[in-house]
Structure 1
Amino acid sequence: MSSKRTPHPPSGPRPPVHLSSSLTISDTAQLTGTHTIEIRSESVIHPRARLESSVGRLAIGRRCVVHERATLGAAPVSSAGLGRVEGVEVAVTLADYVTVEVGAVVEAGETVVGEGTVVGVGARVGAGAVVGKHCTLTPYTEIAAGEVVPDFTVVYSNGLRRTDKRGVAELKNKGMVRQIDVLRRMIPSNPAKFA
């Protein structure tokens, strides 16, 4: 009996992909669905991240980081969200410099996460929600289906909100570039597996 683990086969169809040559993607990431998954330059997809394109296309911007066990393009949980996803062209759009942390879920249904936003650990963004630029969704925050979150909003898991007036967007982007540089050296990348 061998102690080697055999890799699990993907749990769905293999989607068409458009991957940047400067992408870092773990060979244990899961890409499934029937619509196109596009990942732009210098983004990082961690091991065990799940990208689902069954409902519509996934578009991931430049210098995004999708952490392990995060799910993009998940089927909506609420029955209100289920009606929204029929026939959508783009299931999820992540703008540039977005971080989706461990265990976070971004549901399908023309859902948009704005530039520089952080989706915290275990947070959930509902179908059709639009999260503005440079927002912070703290751990275990829930954004309702169809909700619009203004730019620079900090959303706490207990529902409280405030506007971030620190003016550190450029500093955060520079920090993200350094983080990506480190991750590129740590995560073995195999984009050819998904092509």
Structure 2
Amino acid sequence: MSSKRHSILPPAPAGSKPPIHFSSSITIADSALLTGTHPIAIHSESVVHPRARLDSLAGRITVGRRCVVHERASLGAVVGTSGRITEAAVTLGDYVIVEVGAAIEAGETVIGEGTVVGVGARVGAGAVVGKHCTLTPHTEIAAGEVVPDFTVVYSNGMRRTDKRGAAELRNKGLARQIDVLRRMIPSNPAKFA
């Protein structure tokens, strides 16, 4: 067995601290990775897990109120494009959950209020996902695609409309989950200033 220890996080490029705008009530793990040159705004009571990556090199990133960005999730990933992207922001509405290993690419990409982006899902640049949608694990939303409100998208491409009317109940559950996460995740917003 080797006694070498491997770094959990890749080193951040020198001088790549983005301008940040944090609410005083956020929880952000010390090992989250924030890079880029455009502003990153995280609104009240949101939680950013360890090893989550927010990359604002292509454009601003805005995380709404009471969002959870899980570990190894990536917001603002820069992808190769044939055309020129003039605005490459990522915007998460309130009560959005981005689960483990999910990626949301930069390019005026919008995730609507109350949406869940499942484990390992990928949302392409410029896609607009409506309110209270569910992207199941390993779902892919194509670049520029528009997903209507209350849509459930499965990884095999099948879709249905969620008619349960559980949006308010889901938001209350997320608020309780955030209360627990705030006690479990040591927060260090000052590190990113």
TM-score (norm 2): 0.93
Matched, 1:47 2:46: no
RMSD: 2.0
Q: Where does 1:144-155 land on structure 2 (aligned, <5 Å)?
A: 144-155=142-153
**Residue in 2 aligned with 1:58?**
61
Question: Helix, strand or coil: the match of 1:177?
Answer: helix
Matching residue within 69, 75, 79 for 1:76: 79
Distance 1:133 1:49 in 2: 23
Instruction: Work out the number of aligned pairs and report it.
Output: 190
Question: Helix, strand or coil: the match of 1:184?
Answer: helix
User: Kindly tell me: are residues 55 and 177 of structure 1, through their superposed partners in 2, closer, same or farther at Cα, counting changes over 3 Å?
Assistant: same
Deviates more, 1:68-77 or 1:30-39: 68-77
Question: Helix, strand or coil: the match of 1:38?
Answer: strand
Runs of 4+ in 1 over 3 A off after TM superposition: 1-9
Matching residue within 107, 117, 120 for 2:118: 120
Matching residue within 123, 130, 136 for 2:128: 130
**Residue in 2 aligned with 1:87?**
86
Contact 2:110 2:127 in 1 (8 A): yes
Question: Helix, strand or coil: the match of 1:112?
Answer: strand
- Structure 2's unaligned 5+ residue stretches are none
Distance 1:66 1:17 in 2: 16
Matching residue within 6, 9, 13 for 1:11: 13
Shift of 1:5: 7.0
Distance 1:103 1:3 in 2: 23
Shift of 1:9: 3.7
Shift of 1:76: 2.5
Question: Helix, strand or coil: the match of 2:35?
Answer: strand
AA partner of residue 50 (structure 2):
P
Shift of 1:10: 1.7
Question: Helix, strand or coil: the match of 1:162?
Answer: strand
AA partner of residue 28 (structure 1):
S
Q: Deviations for 1:145-185, whole angstroms, at most 9, x for unmatched residues?
A: 00000000000000000000000000000000000000000
Shift of 1:91: 1.2
